Amino acid sequence: MLLKTEKDKGKEGEKLAAEYLREQGYTILYCNWIGNHKELDIVCTKDNQLVVVEVKNRESWNHLDIRELIPPSKIKNIIDGTELFIAEKNPQKEVRFDVIIVNTMKSPPNIQHIVSAFNALDY
């Protein structure tokens, strides 16, 4: 049995997160969108909002502060990437930043969705 690399685990978590979002009525526009070396894990829409989703794989998570889960420098990169995405794609929608935490160690995998996890104006 081959051990999964962190990259493999990340891709698996992103795939599960995208499936979850589709089941919740989101329309996936892009997975792993890259612009000027900034990557957005999932870009989707729902209810006339552009939703940028950061996916984190964790074996456990005990309601840490979002800044413990995602450092401010990473949040800044997500915001910068979103600004590039908007400049390129011009979606004309309100933007929201969500986080999905996937625990693939459980069967079935546990998914936690944090809606409006952070605000661009705070960074």
Give tens-digit pLDDT for 15-52.
999 999 999 999 999 999 999 999 999 999 999 999 99
Buried b (16+ CB within 10 A) or exposed e, 60-96: eeeeeeeeebbeeeebebbbbbbebbeeeeeeeeebb
Taking all residues of the chain, what is their mean pLDDT, rounded to a whole number? 89
| 53: Cβ contacts below 8 Å, ≥ 6 apart | 17, 21, 41, 42, 43, 44, 97, 98, 99, 100
**The whole model's pTM is what?**
0.90
Q: Match domain 6-122 to its CATH number in 3.40.1190.20, 3.30.590.20, 3.40.1350.10, 3.90.70.10.
A: 3.40.1350.10
What's the pLDDT score for residue 63?
61
What's the pLDDT score for residue 1?
47
What's the pLDDT score for residue 4?
67
pLDDT exceeds 70 at position 64: no
